[in-house]
Homo-oligomer: A and B are copies of this chain.
Amino acid sequence: MRNKPATIKEISQLLKISVSTVSRALHDHPSIGLTTRQKVRKLADELNYEPNQTAIFLQQGRTLTIGVILPELSESFFSSAISAIEDTAYKRNYTVLLAQSHDDEHIEKQLVEKMKNHRVDGLLVSVGKNTSSYQHFENLKKYNIPVVFFDRIPAMQNIHYVACNMEIGTIEAVSYLLKKGHRSIGMINGPATLFASGERKEGYIKAMTKNRLKFDPSLIVPCDLTEEGTKAAMNELLASKRKPTAVVTFNDYVALFAIKHATDLKIAVNKDLEFVSYANLPLINYMESIPSASVEQFPYLQGQKAADILLDLLWHKHQGVDEQTAYYKIIIESQLIENNRTDAGRSK
Contacts and interface: CB of A to CB of B under 8 A. Distances in A.
A74 B4 CA distance: 36
A119 interface: yes
Interface stretch (A9-17, A54-62, A168-176, A308-316): A54-62
A304 interface: no
A73 interface: yes
A70 to B, nearest CB: 10
Contacts of A48: 139, 142
A277 to B, nearest CB: 12
Nearest to A58: B54
Nearest to A255: B286
A228 B47 CA distance: 51
A144 interface: yes
A48 B135 CA distance: 14
A270 interface: no
A253 interface: yes
A236 interface: no
A5 interface: yes
Interface string A211-235: 0000000000000000000000000
Given A80-B74, A286-B257, A95 B86 contact: no
Given A74-B82, A86-B73, A86-B98, A118 B286 contact: no
A202 B291 CA distance: 40
Ranked 6 nearest A-B pairs via Cβ: A79-B79, A256-B286, A74-B83, A73-B83, A3-B144, A54-B57
28 contacts: A3-B143, A3-B144, A4-B143, A48-B142, A50-B113, A53-B118, A54-B57, A55-B58, A58-B58, A65-B97, A73-B82, A74-B76, A74-B282, A76-B79, A82-B98, A83-B100, A86-B99, A86-B100, A87-B100, A95-B118, A96-B97, A97-B98, A98-B98, A256-B286, A257-B286, A283-B283, A287-B287, A288-B289
